[in-house]
Structure 1
Amino acid sequence: MPLALLALAISAFGIGTTEFVMMGLLPDVADDLHTSIPTAGYLVSGYALGVVIGAPLLAAITTRMPRKALLLSLMGLFTVGNTLSALAPGFGWLLAGRVLSGLPHGAFFGVGAVVAAGMVDPARKARAVSLMIAGLTVANIVGVPAATLLGQHLGWRATFLTVGVIGLVAIAGIALLVPRIPLAPGGGLRRELSAFRSGQVWLTLSTTIFGFAAVFAVYSYVTPMLTEVAGFGEGSVTLVLALFGVGATIGNLLGGRLADRALRPALLGGLGALAIVLLLFTVTLHARWSAALTVVLLGVAAFAAGSPMMMLVMEKARHAPALASAANQAAFNLANAGGAWLGGVVLAHGLGYTAPAVAGAGLAVIGVGIATAGGLWERRAARGSGAASSSSRVVVASDAVVRSAERVG
């Protein structure tokens, strides 16, 4: 695999760290800025809002920008956003920094996936994309716990300054290692928007929303689930969440390898496994060892479906993949918000801490249904084009017979 993938993985590591570290720093930030924890929670939402807005917007307005220059610019914006967060004099400036940090997230992963896939032969595209995403999953194992610990001991501003330094390292890596990739002829916004005329693209985006909403319906409330039902102490939850990162890393690399062999079956297998794991969680949550094991399996199943989802949307928008791939990142964050909302609804109705897992399993099943519908549509279209091709060959043969008869006559 090209060494340039390491630069993309370092970028993903920094993005993953800044995305999730705020959850662990909320009490410190709220105390330092003299605000409440619920108000400080808007810093999490602000980042997600930046992702949802920035993913399609930045991908759309930069369609004619060379890929390498675009990656450098996006990481530059990411670095500026984290530096602003570190130097923010008050809550409003910190919120602005978080939104600014989130803006390049989706566009970077969207364009980065296209670049990663373009640097290898077709048989290894999904594995290349999964290696880039590995930076994000490793961030959950190492980056987020380390950054949280740093913030708790040296202050939350030190965390964002450190992430800014990671951004600078990523910029240097992209500049040195990523080759210049020429734009496809005839590219531009109109070409990129043409991908959204495809019903298959919309089906894939819908699969992403429901599939990952299933994950976040549970993951958003996994801490109280582990403490209130499984009996973990609050200090042990961080270790269990690191285990989720281990599972996510394994699942991501596995999903990339399987997707290169059979893309849609890999996606269906990942989503089906996710539904099963979430249903099992309602039982295994009642013992610490089985709950911890299921958290690992949850990470494996969730991210085993991630790379196939990204590759499928790029395949269905193969003539204009950048904007569709970025839109898929926005879909991931819509899944984050929607899954967390649904998990909160079932908890608010007093259905118990296992109810989010049931709700998540239902969402995963819907994702399987949408992906299956896309596969059936794909198969029917292939049969139709095959029949049309056969029909055209018959017509050509008939014309040849007629012309031959005319010459004989």
Structure 2
Amino acid sequence: MPINKGLISLAFGGLAIGMTEFTMMGILPDIAKDVNIDIPTASNLIGLYALGVVVGAPTLVAATSRYPAKNVLLFLMLLFFIFNAAFTFAPNQWTLFISRFISGLPHGAFFGIGSVVAAKLAKPGKEAQAISLMFTGMTIANLAGVPLGTYIGHHYDWRITYAVISFLGLVTFLTIYLWMPHFPANKNNNIKQQIGYFKRWEAWLMIGIISIGTGGLFAWMSYISKLVTTVSGLPEGNVSIIMILIGAGMCVGNILGGKVADTLSPTKAAITCFLAMATCLLVLFFIAHITVLAYPMAFITGMIAFSIAPSLQMMLINNAKGAETFAASAGQAAFNIGNSIGAYLGAIPIMYGLTYNYPSLVGVVMASFGALLTYIFLVKVERKDAVQTEYNHKLQEA
């Protein structure tokens, strides 16, 4: 069956956003050298982007809630294009910092609004698979875009890499304009209603699920280079192969995750994926020293870890009636918080002199806790809602 072109335009956006976020980690030394700053100072570019995501996700969604989704997506990608271009030509560290922060603002809002639009474009029962197609762009970024961007940044100029990323933002803008159908704005939306999402305790439970559960992925991935070189015994030149295998696993896991979510239900699929992630990271902790297994485990771990993305997005949308886009974008902010928490907690055993497979053990704990929180969500929120719905149905019949 042909793929809806609107979904392809969202995937382009995922590719551009994935590249701008993750390529930074590979070319940070090149940027530091170019503008004559040290690595710790340059590393603020990673944190500023994440801060931009956290700030931009709720504020941009709330501010644009009364406008048609297509118009908002166009605005977000125009913002992305302009400030990634500004970052490309920034002459010093302060212009780099400012443009990097602003370029992170559209990230969460794009995926939040895009998730809701993707679900509307899907056939009934295929919503999670449609959302997974949007996230395929981000997995392709990890598979091919980030390694290519890193190579260009190392061997030619990091500014060329970000010029390409900026151009991808423009391509996304054009494809949304040409391919995305028009959805009328919900005139009942208002900022108070959107912000009211945070008055619900289950909203904070969802943020906890994403921040803690997905942090398990980043506890492992943040130190993957040192893990495979110092524990698995691979040469440094093979780290790029490991990263490509992780990206390939993410591509496969993202597609499988969408099908699992549509088959089991998003919440049950999320519990399953979290438990699978914890199990995989535990196995990895014990076998990391076996060199030959580093390659298949990179693919398998990437696949399992990213299979959870469609389930979490559907959970956010399904349980935020009246504030779906706000909830989905807040989920992206929580994902970036998970990035920071996972990297921070994963560093603790290393600070105490333990080897680089111990961050994986931290990931086991975080993924397991994510599964527990998701089970609480299933019991306290979804089952309660199901009982209330059944009760209301019986009252109507009476």
Deviations 1:135-179 (CA, angstroms, capped at 9, x unpaired): 000001110111111122221111111111111111110100001
Residue 235 of structure 1 corresponds to which residue in structure 2?
237
Contact 1:29 1:156 in 2 (8 A): yes
Matched residues in 2 for 1:393 and 1:327: separation? 35
Residue 399 of structure 1 corresponds to which residue in structure 2?
none
Write the mapping of 1:242-261 to structure 2, written as runs, cut at 5 A: 242-261=244-263
Deviations 1:271-300 (CA, angstroms, capped at 9, x unpaired): 010000110111221122212211211111
Matched residues in 2 for 1:354 and 1:151: separation? 29
Matched residues in 2 for 1:214 and 1:372: separation? 17
Structure 2 unmatched runs, 5+: none
Task: Point out the more displaced range, 381-390 or 283-292.
Answer: 381-390
Residue 318 of structure 1 corresponds to which residue in structure 2?
321
**Inter-CA distance 153–255: structure 2 relative to 1 (3 Å threshold):** same
Equivalent of 2:383, from 371, 376, 379?
A: 379
- Residues 1:266 and 2:269 aligned together: yes
Residue 297 of structure 2 corresponds to which residue in structure 1?
294
Which amino acid in the other structure matches residue 215 of structure 2?
Answer: A
Equivalent of 2:89, from 80, 87, 91?
A: 87
- What is the Cα deviation at residue 385 of structure 1? 4.9
- What is the Cα deviation at residue 352 of structure 1? 2.1
Residue 352 of structure 1 corresponds to which residue in structure 2?
355
Matched residues in 2 for 1:101 and 1:235: separation? 31
Matched residues in 1 for 2:135 and 2:121: separation? 15
- What is the Cα deviation at residue 70 of structure 1? 0.6
Write the mapping of 1:14-29 to structure 2, written as runs, cut at 5 A: 14-29=16-31
- What is the Cα deviation at residue 102 of structure 1? 0.7
- Residues 1:163 and 2:177 aligned together: no
Deviations 1:370-396 (CA, angstroms, capped at 9, x unpaired): 000111112244335535655x479x5
Matched residues in 1 for 2:385 and 2:139: separation? 36
Write the mapping of 1:140-219 to structure 2, written as runs, cut at 5 A: 140-219=142-221
Residue 284 of structure 1 corresponds to which residue in structure 2?
287
- Using the size of structure 2 for normalisation, the TM-score is 0.95
Contact 2:257 2:308 in 1 (8 A): yes
Task: Point out the more displaced range, 98-107 or 348-357.
Answer: 348-357
Report the aligned-residue RMSD.
1.5
Structure 1 or 2, whichever has the larger Rg, is 1
Residue 329 of structure 1 corresponds to which residue in structure 2?
332
- What is the Cα deviation at residue 243 of structure 1? 0.6
Matched residues in 2 for 1:66 and 1:127: separation? 23
Which amino acid in the other structure matches residue 327 of structure 2?
Answer: A
Matched residues in 2 for 1:245 and 1:225: separation? 17
Contact 1:198 1:316 in 2 (8 A): no
Which amino acid in the other structure matches residue 232 of structure 1?
Answer: L
Which amino acid in the other structure matches residue 58 of structure 2?
Answer: P
Deviations 1:163-201 (CA, angstroms, capped at 9, x unpaired): 111111111101000011112241121222333343333
Contact 1:275 1:365 in 2 (8 A): yes
**Inter-CA distance 50–393: structure 2 relative to 1 (3 Å threshold):** closer
Report the 3-state secondary structure (helix = DSSP H, G, I; strand = E; otherwise coil) of the residue aligned with 2:214: helix
Task: Point out the more displaced range, 331-340 or 163-172.
Answer: 163-172
Which amino acid in the other structure matches residue 57 of structure 2?
Answer: A
- Residues 1:99 and 2:107 aligned together: no
- What is the Cα deviation at residue 335 of structure 1? 0.3
